[in-house]
């Protein structure tokens, strides 16, 4: 499904992994690819992310930015594999890599380095680490990456990636419902939201599909993607959610892609 506008470059969004910490054959761990022009952004590196990239025809060497919504194991599981492959693939990585996350990612990576030593030190490339608090951002070529609020861990953030023309995708990461996220996601063309729980089984730090729909309506989003799906949240009444969300609602699947 594509949402096209008349522009030389389109932003591609591909769901690499749509699952959780629970291993499942049809859902890899959380990971989303965003690319436009020469910028290739990977948001979170859940279990299976590297193989999912290959399935999408993308090499890990092409990634220009690694973004982390938070540092729980299911969202960082393949960072070690990413670093290891960068050095020991047949063609070693040479392109610089920018790693972006909330406050604390620098300390996390320092501990990572101490644990694995020279095996994960960049051999032929440079790494830059950027810590963002909500409402801060940075440029990535013609794209703008902004951090927003999230209610999950103290250092959790959501992300908004916008093109120079204003087209935008927002990823909540893991988060409970928060009206501040709706403000951050205002007018997003695509809202990719944590929908961990079925309606009536809301839990701390996560949303149900109904709460995602409320968030989408408040944000005025163009389309809502229900993501980060636990097994008991698979059965979703999409038609009812469309009415409450006020926009198109899609249940995520590994490999789904859009162009904005």
Q: What are the tens digits of pLDDT across the range 172-220? A: 999 999 999 999 999 999 999 999 988 776 667 899 999 999 999 999 9
Mean pLDDT of 91-112: 96
| Confidence check: pLDDT of 240 > 80 | yes
**Crossing angle between the packed helical segments 105-116 and 79-88, to the nearest 10 degrees:** 60
Cα–Cα distance for residue pair 203/93, rounded to 1 Å? 41
What is the percent of the chain with per-residue pLDDT over 90, rounded to a whole number?
A: 87
Q: What are the tens digits of pLDDT across the range 207-225? A: 999 999 999 999 999 999 9
**Crossing angle between the packed helical segments 238-245 and 209-219, to the nearest 10 degrees:** 30
Fold of 12-254: Metallo-beta-lactamase; Chain A (3.60.15)
- Who contacts 109 (Cβ-Cβ below 8 Å, separation ≥6)? 99, 129
Q: What's the confidence (pLDDT) of residue 237?
A: 82
Q: With the C-alpha atoms ordered 43, 84, 140, 126, is the resulting torsion angle positive or negative? A: positive
Q: What's the confidence (pLDDT) of residue 248?
A: 96
* Residue scoring higher pLDDT (236 or 73): 73
- The whole-model pTM stands at 0.94
* Residue scoring higher pLDDT (257 or 164): 257
Q: What's the confidence (pLDDT) of residue 8?
A: 59
| Confidence check: pLDDT of 4 > 70 | no
In contact, 102 and 156? CB cutoff 8 Å: yes
Q: Is 246 left (phi over 0), alpha (psi -120 to 50) or beta?
A: left
Q: What's the confidence (pLDDT) of residue 229?
A: 93
| Confidence check: pLDDT of 3 > 80 | no
Domain boundaries, the chain: 12-254
Paired strand residues for 144: 139, 162
Q: What are the tens digits of pLDDT across the range 124-144? A: 999 999 999 999 999 999 999
Q: What's the confidence (pLDDT) of residue 43?
A: 98
| Confidence check: pLDDT of 5 > 90 | no
């Amino acid at each position: 499904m594509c949402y096209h506008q008349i522009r030389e470059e389109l932003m591609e969004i591909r769901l690499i992994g749509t699952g959780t910490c629970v291993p499942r054959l049809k859902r890899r761990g959380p990971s989303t690819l965003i690319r436009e022009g020469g910028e290739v952004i990977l948001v979170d590196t859940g279990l299976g992310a590297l193989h999912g990239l290959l399935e999408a025809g993308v090499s890990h060497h092409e990634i220009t930015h690694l973004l982390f919504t938070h540092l729980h194991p299911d969202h960082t599981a393949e960072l070690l594999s990413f670093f290891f492959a960068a050095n020991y693939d047949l063609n070693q990585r040479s392109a610089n890599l920018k790693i972006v996350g909330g406050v604390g990612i620098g300390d996390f990576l320092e501990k990572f380095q101490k644990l694995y030593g020279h095996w994960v030190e960049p051999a032929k490339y440079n790494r830059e680490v950027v810590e963002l608090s909500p409402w801060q951002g940075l440029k990535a070529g013609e794209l703008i990456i902004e951090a927003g609020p999230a209610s999950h861990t103290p250092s959790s953030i959501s992300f908004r990636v916008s093109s120079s023309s204003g087209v935008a995708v927002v990823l909540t990461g893991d988060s409970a419902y928060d009206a501040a996220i709706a403000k951050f996601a205002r007018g997003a063309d695509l809202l990719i939201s944590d929908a961990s729980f079925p309606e009536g089984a809301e839990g701390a730090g996560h949303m149900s599909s109904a709460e995602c729909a409320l968030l989408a309506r408040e944000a005025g989003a163009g389309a809502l993607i229900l993501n980060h799906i636990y097994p008991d949240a698979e059965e979703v009444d999409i038609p009812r959610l469309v009415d409450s969300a006020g926009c198109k609602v899609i249940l995520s699947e590994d490999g789904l892609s859009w162009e904005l």
